[in-house]
Amino acid sequence: MPKSSSKPRHHVLRLTYLEQAAFYLSTSASQHSTLPTTQQTGPARSLLTHLRSISKKTQIRLDTSTKARICKLCNSPLIPDHTSETRMDNASKGGRKRCADVEVVECLFCKGVKRKPVGAKRQLKRAGRTKKDGKNNTGNNIEESLTRETIVGVE
C-alpha cells in the first residue's frame, strides 16, 4: 500500500491494484501449474515493473512492507520458499553479537540480495540526537576541559 494520501486518488488506487494483482497471480500460479517458477511469475513481474515505474513518475512512495516484497533488481515478487530464500547472517566474530544479526532475502531469479538488520536498534533521527545529546555533551566537554586545564595549571 502506498503511504501518501494527499496524492491523486486514482494513482494510489492503481498502485494498490497492481500490487494485489501481481501477488495474486504469483501465488495462484504456483498452486495450479507445473511450469518452472521463472515462467510463472512473468505476468506478476511485469505488473510490479509497472507499479514501480508509476510510483516513481507520480512521486508516490511505496510502503516499506511493499518494497520488502519486491526484488529491487528484477522486479519479481519475493515470496518466501517459492521465489525467495530467507536466511540469517551474522558477520561478528563467531556470530556472538546479537546486534549484528542480519536477515538476508535472496531472489531465486537474479540471485539479488536484500539485507535487513534485525538485532540492532535503529539510530534516532538527527533532530532527536542533537536535542538530547548535543547540549549535554557540549556542556560536559567544556567543563571537563576546564577542570583538566586547571589541574594542569596547578601542577
Residues that bind Zn ion (CB under 5 A): 71, 73-74, 107, 109-110, 112
Minimum CB distance to Zn ion, residue 74 (Å): 3
Q: Which three cell numbers stand for residue 30?
A: 504456483
Minimum CB distance to Zn ion, residue 149 (Å): 59
- H or E element that contains 103: strand 101-107
Nearer to Zn ion, 85 or 101 (CB): 85
Minimum CB distance to Zn ion, residue 17 (Å): 23
CB atoms closer than 10 angstroms to residue 70:
24
For residue 49, how far is the Cα from the chain centroid?
A: 18
Strand 113-117 with 84-90, pairing: unpaired
Nearer to Zn ion, 101 or 106 (CB): 106
DSSP 116-134: EE-SSPPPPPHHHHIIIII
Nearer to Zn ion, 15 or 107 (CB): 107
Nearer to Zn ion, 86 or 136 (CB): 86
Per the CB < 8 A criterion, the answer to whether 103 and 120 are in contact is no
Per the CB < 8 A criterion, the answer to whether 83 and 108 are in contact is yes
Nearer to Zn ion, 39 or 92 (CB): 39
Minimum CB distance to Zn ion, residue 110 (Å): 3
Minimum CB distance to Zn ion, residue 75 (Å): 7
Find residue 107's DSSP bridge partners: 84
